[in-house]
A and B are shown apart, each in its own frame.
Chain A
């Protein structure tokens, strides 16, 4: 069983479209995250949720809207996609906000905007 699974793995879409990426964790963790890894390989946090509550919103454009229907799911919806949104998006989870046992990442979604 995959601990943190995100779909789709690859996403190619045109500028201006709206797309969603789904993430689910079966670890029973309270906290979930979205990270973006750009072409320079920096992995930067976008959002974190703890028990469905938004904790971190790290200067991300309003076009990005996370939704957490329950603590096992954190989806990312992106409106009006732009070329600069092309990146690999990683979902992650941790036991709680303190993350004493580290973070468990999904395998990533490679988004290409053309």
Chain B
């Protein structure tokens, strides 16, 4: 499981775009990058997953540069309800690559 580094916290105003970057310098060839969101008193929720370039869904976009040593989760026009902890996970999509530890994540606070 590749080691990841994310900012501990970020603040943003409502309506702004938020970009959270995760560094994963020792990412392996078969590793995918997955982001989870966790609200207080809830379990983490899958947001988006990607391998390279750009992935977009109804919730977020994920940008991955060619060297794949980092990734950026982009949340468009955040609202107060986006206040949560965001985890970046890097692991292979094969059996035996269960993530043993989710890091501390990035605590995003959205301000009115």
Contact = CB atoms under 8 A, between A and B. Distances in A.
Contacts of A90: 43-44
B101 A98 contact: no
If over half of B's interface residues share one DSSP class (helix, strand or loop), that class is named, otherwise mixed; here it is loop
Interface in A91-114: 92, 96-108, 110
A31 to B, nearest CB: 8
Contact of A44 (B36, B42, B93, B100): B100
B41 interface: yes
Interface residues of A, number: 29
Contacts of B104: 40-42
A48 interface: yes
A15 interface: no
Contacts of B85: 41
B87 to A, nearest CB: 8
B76 interface: no
Given A97-B95, A108-B41, A103 B101 contact: no
A90 B101 CA distance: 13
A1 to B, nearest CB: 16
Contact of B42 (A40, A48, A100, A108): A108
A51 to B, nearest CB: 12
Contact of A41 (B34, B42, B93, B105): B105
A100 B41 CA distance: 26
Interface of B: 34, 36, 41-46, 49, 85, 87, 93-105
12 contacts: A41-B104, A43-B101, A97-B95, A99-B93, A99-B97, A101-B46, A102-B49, A104-B46, A105-B45, A106-B43, A107-B42, A108-B41
